[in-house]
Amino acid sequence: MNQKAVLPGTTANGQQTTLGVMGGGQLGRMFVQAAQRMGYFTAVLDPDPASPAGLISHFHIQADYLDEQALAQMMQRCAAISTEFENVPSGAMFTLGAHRPVAPSAQCLAIAQDRIREKAHFKTCGVPTAPYAVIKTPEQLDAIDDTLLPGILKTAQLGYDGKGQVRVQERADLAAAWAQLKSVPCVLERQLELLCECSVIVARGWDGAAVTYPVQRNVHVDGILAMTEVFDGNLPSALAEQARHAACAIAHELEYVGILCVEFFVIADPAHADGSLVVNEIAPRPHNSGHYTMDACDYSQFDLQVYTLAGLPLPAPRQHSPAVMLNLLGDLWFSHPGVAAGADAPAKTPDWLAVLALPGVRLHLYGKLRASRGRKMGHLTITGDTVQQVQATAASAAELLGIRLA
């Protein structure tokens, strides 16, 4: 599809061109910042009066995502609309998409919202996944192949940051695990031994042209992203090339428009010394593992979210520095000497002064008013001249703040 470009600034009838985003979390906030830098006005739909994006947007429509009046306001205000989280009801996107350019499309969101459909899509694209089975009935649970155990039972919908998942050691544990997940539709995946995890961000325009960022190497702790490292040699180059190629195939087959992140596992493979790649899941939006692009690339993932949505000529992004990204979870506001582990103690301020004294560190806080454990409050990007320097600084920053990397 070709979409007429939506240009920033004042329109012929004296109005400011406005871009909209469904969802007001940190990803929406960084989209808003990128759009505003170029001169767009922004509108955010999010029910939370204190949403990070809503707090800084020109317009904040505070309502439920399916509220008809709110959707009508979004359409009235916005020349084009994107989203920042995959669980925006696809009905809302269908409504908006009937009247305004919406990227990604409701159809793409519906696939990304459902692990069963997502995995079927990977199969269509010829990209291998972990062995898995779909579980919707007790009979399907009984019929599980032994080779899927030990496995991870994951709800088909609404999981994130490791939530909606239960590890299952043996067959006898299956029924309890499914009951724990309220017996909703699930997939059971074999638990793989991971050599590492990586992800690729694709930006794809209305005309089908696509560009990718370098492959990100990711470290998760307790199912949540803790660190991303991006530099030449972070992965064997053939694997990295394969990951970029697979990510593009997945985006093209979806006729995806916007920013798509594809997450992969690298697993041991007797046939390949470097291991082989399996796709894990997709995120139909900018991704936590791409935050380093704001400081280490000439165009960030949020810039390209704006470019793709607005139908601007799509530049190939260039990374100009090795980078490490460290997530700042709410735990950092709690864990300090004298407070028992797990206690809900009064929050402290992490030692930003010490961290900001390190070379090449940039602090990004998302403007969340309350810290809680596991909540993504911000991130650090560390850039520098050499990989060694960047890694050493990241290690110092992690130690100063008490960030767990394993």
**What is the contact mask toward ligand ADP in residues 168 to 197, using x (rule: CB under 6 A)?**
---------------------x-xx-x--x
CB 284 within 8 Å of CB 201: no
Q: Residue 122 is encoded by which pair of tokens? A: 């990977």
Where does this chain touch ligand ADP (CB under 6 A) — which range of 97-105, 159-167, 293-301, 326-334? 159-167
Q: Binding to ligand ADP by residue 131, rule CB under 6 A?
A: no
Quote the least distance from Cβ 8 to ligand ADP, whole Å: 34
Quote the least distance from Cβ 406 to ligand ADP, whole Å: 12
Where does this chain touch ligand ADP (CB under 6 A) — which range of 4-12, 72-80, 154-162, 386-394? 154-162
Q: Binding to ligand ADP by residue 281, rule CB under 6 A?
A: yes
Beta bridge mates, 153: 166, 188
Q: How far apart are the first and last CA of the chain?
A: 45
Residue with smaller CB distance to ligand ADP, 77 or 154: 154
C-alpha–C-alpha distance, residues 164 and 56, integer Å: 31
Residue with smaller CB distance to ligand ADP, 114 or 263: 263
Coil vs helix vs strand at 78 = coil
Q: Binding to ligand ADP by residue 229, rule CB under 6 A?
A: no
Coil vs helix vs strand at 25 = coil
Inter-helix orientation angle 68-77/90-97, to 10°? 40
Q: Binding to ligand ADP by residue 220, rule CB under 6 A?
A: yes
Quote the least distance from Cβ 160 to ligand ADP, whole Å: 5
Beta strands in 181-333 (DSSP E): 186-190, 194-204, 210-212, 216-221, 224-230, 258-269, 272-283, 323-329
C-alpha–C-alpha distance, residues 92 and 88, integer Å: 7
Residue with smaller CB distance to ligand ADP, 84 or 303: 84
Residue with smaller CB distance to ligand ADP, 223 or 236: 223
C-alpha–C-alpha distance, residues 50 and 56, integer Å: 10
CB 197 within 8 Å of CB 261: no
Q: Binding to ligand ADP by residue 130, rule CB under 6 A?
A: yes
Q: Binding to ligand ADP by residue 157, rule CB under 6 A?
A: no
Could you write out the three-class secondary structure of 96-113?
Answer: HHCCCCECCCHHHHHHHC
Site residues (CB under 6 A) for ligand ADP?
130, 152, 154, 159-162, 189, 191-192, 194, 197, 220, 223, 263, 280-281
